């Protein structure tokens, strides 16, 4: 009897409370309202992920986890198959296989350190020597990195007297590459090439951040899109010169509203002649929030 009385008393108090405040909100309702407000306030500024899917005529595809899966360099036509590269990942290495005319043309194994940087690449090129014969040409390079995780040097393991040294500035940009060769028992001498990269120009163009970097073309790394060679330059290169040729090349960029490159024009320094225009396309997705 006492329990029934207590239940009736609690029920009457609850009804009275509801009558006194028709706008009563439960903690769950309040939490949902707060989350809804946050969503509305955040939608205009939700950060987005840009994934490069087209670079000129080159198309890039990715695995669901974001790793590079396939790069198509030449699309298939009615008369010829595509030229493309595929990528397979393991804990300590990556295998990239290039197919040309429906046959394996090149296979490169990238050995990775604990920071997932390539410390050695082993490349095999399969050179056709007839209808059913080919010659295998192998190249092997070792890579060293500085304390900041930037590529410091690359050494030809088959010809150890040959190496390339990479110089970086305080802003985190690659500014010089020097090719060396060991001759006549002397110290390394710059006999191959010296390439200098500039990130601003005398015209006063601003230095631009590189928000979706790929491997530097000037560095001549084994793969332009596989990002396993340490940190990339933080800014877009504006001009490149080489000691083995006159003049050089400079670049102009078009950016979208968020600062990502949508077009790059490549000109010669000597006569400002347009050599090539390259368009960039991205797969854009929101970085998720669970509110």
pLDDT digits (tens, 9 = 90+) for 146-164: 999 999 999 999 988 889 9
Tell me if residue 117 falls in helix, strand or coil. Answer: coil
Q: 80-115 burial, b if ≥16 CB within 10 A, otherwise e?
A: eebbbbebeeeeeebebbbbbeeeebbbbbbbbeee
Residue 157 bridge partners (DSSP): none
- Residue whose token pair is 């407000």: 37
**CA-to-CA distance for 241 and 100, rounded, in angstroms?**
32
**CA-to-CA distance for 108 and 129, rounded, in angstroms?**
20
Q: What is the pLDDT of residue 160?
A: 83
Q: What is the DSSP letter of 176?
A: E
Choose from 13-17, 93-97, 245-249 the range with maximum mean pLDDT.
93-97
CATH pick for 46-286 out of 3.30.450.40, 3.40.30.10, 3.40.50.11810, 2.40.160.190 = 2.40.160.190
Q: What is the pLDDT of residue 190?
A: 54
Alpha helices in the chain (DSSP H): 2-20, 27-42
Assess whether pLDDT exceeds 80 at residue 91: yes
Structure confidence at residue 47 as a pLDDT band (50, 70, 90)? low
Q: What is the DSSP letter of 13?
A: H
Q: What is the pLDDT of residue 202?
A: 62
Q: What is the pLDDT of residue 188?
A: 53
Assess whether pLDDT exceeds 70 at residue 217: yes
pLDDT tens column, 13-24: 343 444 444 444
Structure confidence at residue 228 as a pLDDT band (50, 70, 90)? very high
Cα–Cα nearest to 194, from 243, 247, 249: 243
Assess whether pLDDT exceeds 60 at residue 85: yes
**CA-to-CA distance for 287 and 151, rounded, in angstroms?**
30
Q: What is the pLDDT of residue 49?
A: 86
42 vs 254, residue with greater confidence? 254
**CA-to-CA distance for 38 and 28, rounded, in angstroms?**
15
Beta strands 174-181 and 189-198: pairing type? antiparallel
Percent of the residues in the chain that have a pLDDT greater than 70, as a whole number: 77
Structure confidence at residue 212 as a pLDDT band (50, 70, 90)? very high
Q: What is the pLDDT of residue 143?
A: 98
Mean pLDDT score, 200-222: 87
Domain segments of the chain: what residues? 1-45, 46-286
Cα–Cα nearest to 196, from 222, 175, 217: 175
Structure confidence at residue 46 as a pLDDT band (50, 70, 90)? low
52 vs 5, residue with greater confidence? 52
> Are 97 and 90 spatial neighbours (Cβ–Cβ below 8 Å)?
no
Cα–Cα nearest to 167, from 183, 151, 154: 151
> Are 55 and 263 spatial neighbours (Cβ–Cβ below 8 Å)?
no
Q: 215-234 burial, b if ≥16 CB within 10 A, otherwise e?
A: bbebbebbbbbbbbbbbbbb
Q: What is the pLDDT of residue 12?
A: 42
- Mean of pLDDT over the chain: 83
């Amino acid at each position: 009897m006492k329990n029934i009385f207590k239940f009736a008393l609690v029920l009457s108090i609850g009804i009275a409370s509801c009558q006194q405040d028709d706008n009563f909100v439960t903690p769950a309702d309040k939490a949902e309202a707060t989350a809804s407000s946050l969503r509305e306030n955040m939608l205009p500024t939700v950060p987005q992920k840009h994934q490069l899917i087209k670079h000129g005529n080159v198309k890039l595809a990715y695995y669901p986890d974001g790793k590079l899966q396939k790069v198509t360099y030449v699309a298939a036509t009615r008369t010829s198959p595509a030229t493309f590269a595929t990528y397979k990942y393991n804990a300590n290495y990556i295998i990239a296989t290039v197919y040309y005319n429906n046959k394996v043309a090149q296979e490169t194994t990238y050995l990775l350190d604990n920071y997932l940087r390539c410390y050695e690449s082993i490349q095999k090129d399969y050179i056709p020597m007839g209808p059913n014969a080919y010659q295998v040409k192998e190249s092997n390079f070792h890579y060293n990195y500085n304390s900041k995780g930037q590529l410091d040097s690359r050494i030809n393991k088959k010809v150890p007297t040959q190496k390339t040294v990479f110089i970086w500035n305080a802003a985190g940009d690659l500014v010089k590459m020097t090719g060396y060769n060991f001759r006549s028992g002397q110290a390394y001498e710059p006999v191959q090439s010296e390439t200098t990269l500039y990130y601003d120009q005398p015209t006063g163009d601003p230095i631009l951040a590189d928000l979706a970097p790929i491997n530097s073309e000037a560095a001549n790394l084994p793969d332009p899109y596989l990002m396993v060679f340490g940190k990339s330059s933080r800014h877009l290169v504006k001009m490149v010169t080489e000691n083995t040729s006159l003049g050089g090349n400079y670049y102009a960029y078009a950016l979208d509203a968020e600062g990502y490159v949508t077009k790059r024009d490549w000109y010669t320094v000597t006569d400002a002649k347009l050599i090539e225009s390259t368009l960039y396309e991205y797969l854009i997705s929101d970085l998720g929030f669970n509110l």
